[in-house]
Amino acid sequence: MRLSPLHRGRMVIATRNPGKLEELARLLAPFAVEVMAATDLGLAEPEETGASFAENALIKARAAATASGMPALADDSGLVVAGLDGAPGIHSARWAGPERDYAAAFRRIHDELVARFGSFAAADRRAAFVCVLALALPEGETALFEGRIDGEIVFPPRGEAGFGYDPIFVPQGESRTFAEMSSAEKDAISHRGQALRAFVRALAAAD
Determine the Cα–Cα distance for residues 8 and 1; give it in Å rounded to an integer: 11
Residues 58-77 that bind ligand ITT (CB under 6 A): 60, 75-77
Residue of 16, 52, 103, 204 interacting with ligand ITT (CB under 6 A): 16
Helix (H, G, I), strand (E, B) or coil at 95: helix
Q: Would you count residue 15 as binding ligand ITT (CB under 6 A)?
A: yes
Q: Would you count residue 177 as binding ligand ITT (CB under 6 A)?
A: no
Residue of 7, 20, 62, 125 interacting with ligand ITT (CB under 6 A): 20
* CA angle centred on 34, ends 30 and 36, rounded to 5°: 120
> CB nearest ligand ITT: which residue?
164
Q: Would you count residue 162 as binding ligand ITT (CB under 6 A)?
A: yes
Task: Note if 150 is an active site residue.
Answer: no
Q: Is 60 exposed, middle or buried (0-12, 13-18, 19+ CB in 10 A)?
A: buried
Which one is catalytic: 76, 85, 111, 207? 76
Residue of 11, 144, 154, 165 interacting with ligand ITT (CB under 6 A): 165
Residues whose CB falls within 8 Å of the CB of residue 152, separated by 6 or more in sequence, listed in order: 125, 126, 127, 169, 170, 172
Determine the Cα–Cα distance for residues 144 and 88; give it in Å rounded to an integer: 22
Q: Which residues are catalytic?
A: 76
In the complex, the residues that contact ligand ITT under the rule CB under 6 A are 15-17, 20, 48, 60, 75-79, 92-93, 96, 129, 162-166, 178, 190, 192
